[in-house]
Chain A
Amino acid sequence: MTMKIFIPRDAAAVAVGADDIATTFAQVAARRGLPVEIVRTGSRGLCWLEPMVEVATPEGRVAYGPVSAEEVASVLESMASNGPHALRLCIADEIPWLKRQTRLTFARCGVIDPRSLEDYRAHGGYKGLERALSLGSDAILAEVTASGLRGRGGAGFPTGIKWKTVAQASADRKFIVCNADEGDSGTFADRMIMEGDPFLVIEGMTIAGITVGASKGYIYIRSEYPHAVAAMKAAIVAARRGGYLGDKIGGSACGFDMEVRVGAGAYVCGEETSLLESLEGRRGLVRAKPPLPAHHGLFGKPTVINNVLSFAAIPFILAEGAKAYADFGMGRSRGTMPIQLAGNIRQGGLFETAFGVTLGELVDDIGGGTFTGRPVRAVQVGGPLGAYFPRALFDTPFDYEAFAARDGLIGHGGIVVFDDSVDMRKQARFAMEFCAVESCGKCTPCRIGSTRGVETIEKIIRGERISENLALVEDLCNTMKFGSLCALGGFTPYPVLSALKHFREDFAPIPTTLQAAE
Chain B
Amino acid sequence: MTVAFEPFYEPWNETRGADIVAEHASQEGATLVILHALQDAFGYVPEAAIPMVAQALNLSRAEVHGVFTFYHDFRRKPAGRHVLKLCRAEACQAAGGDALAARAEARLGVALGNTTADDRVTLEPIYCLGLCATAPSAMLDGRLIGRLDEKRIDALVAEAQR
Contact = CB atoms under 8 A, between A and B. Distances in A.
B132 A416 contact: yes
A417 interface: yes
Contacts of A244: none
A348 B129 contact: no
Contacts of B145: 15
A47 B72 contact: no
A20 to B, nearest CB: 7
11 contacts: A186-B91, A187-B130, A224-B127, A227-B144, A263-B73, A264-B35, A266-B71, A299-B28, A342-B132, A384-B90, A414-B132
A278 B32 contact: yes
Given A223-B73, A430-B93, A11 B130 contact: yes
Given A265-B71, A283-B70, 14 more contacts: A12-B130, A15-B137, A183-B128, A186-B89, A188-B131, A224-B130, A262-B36, A264-B74, A281-B32, A299-B29, A343-B91, A344-B94, A348-B132, A430-B93
Contact of B90 (A278, A281, A343): A343
B66 interface: yes
A340 B91 CA distance: 11
B131 A187 contact: no
B133 A340 contact: yes
Interface of B: 2, 28-33, 35-36, 57, 63, 66-67, 70-74, 89-96, 126-135, 137, 142, 144-147
Contacts of A187: 128, 130, 132
Contacts of A422: 94
B144 A348 contact: no
A280 B29 CA distance: 4
A15 B146 contact: yes
Most chain A CB neighbours (cut-off 10 Å) among B67, B70, B133: B133
B143 to A, nearest CB: 9
Contacts of A191: 130
A257 to B, nearest CB: 13
Contacts of A278: 32
B28 A342 contact: no
User: At the interface, is chain B mostly helix, strand, loop or mixed?
Assistant: loop
A264 B92 CA distance: 21
B29 A50 contact: no
Interface residues of A, number: 62
Contacts, number: 154
A266 B144 contact: no
Interface in A205-237: 223-227
Contacts of A340: 132-133
A438 B128 CA distance: 13
A72 B147 CA distance: 20
Nearest to A417: B94
B72 A264 contact: yes
B131 A12 contact: yes
Nearest to A280: B29
Q: Top 3 nearest A-B pairs by Cβ distance? A: A348-B133, A185-B89, A281-B31
A50 B144 CA distance: 14
A12 B127 CA distance: 16
A281 B57 contact: yes
Most chain A CB neighbours (cut-off 10 Å) among B70, B74, B145, B147: B70
A224 B71 contact: no
A78 interface: no
Most chain A CB neighbours (cut-off 10 Å) among B91, B95, B146, B147: B91
Contacts of B94: 342-344, 416-419, 422
Nearest to B92: A185
B56 to A, nearest CB: 12
Contact of A416 (B35, B66, B90): B90
Contacts of A348: 132-134
Contacts of A266: 70-72
A47 B89 contact: no
A434 interface: yes
A123 B52 CA distance: 49
Contacts of B144: 11, 14-15, 227
A502 B95 CA distance: 21
A384 B94 CA distance: 13
Interface in A4-27: 11-12, 14-16, 20
A185 B127 contact: yes
B132 A343 contact: yes
Interface string A167-191: 0000000000000001111111011
B137 to A, nearest CB: 6
Contacts of A263: 32, 71, 73
Most chain B CB neighbours (cut-off 10 Å) among A186, A279, A345: A186
Nearest to A269: B71
Given A264-B72, A266-B71, A281-B29, A224 B128 contact: yes
Nearest to B128: A185
A384 B89 CA distance: 8
Nearest to A344: B94
A427 interface: yes
A198 interface: no
A371 interface: yes
B68 to A, nearest CB: 9
B70 A342 contact: no
Interface in A395-416: 414, 416
Given A278-B32, A279-B29, A416-B90, A188 B133 contact: yes
A258 interface: no
A97 to B, nearest CB: 12
Given A184-B128, A278-B32, A349 B133 contact: yes
A501 to B, nearest CB: 18
A341 B63 CA distance: 41
Nearest to A278: B32
A150 to B, nearest CB: 23
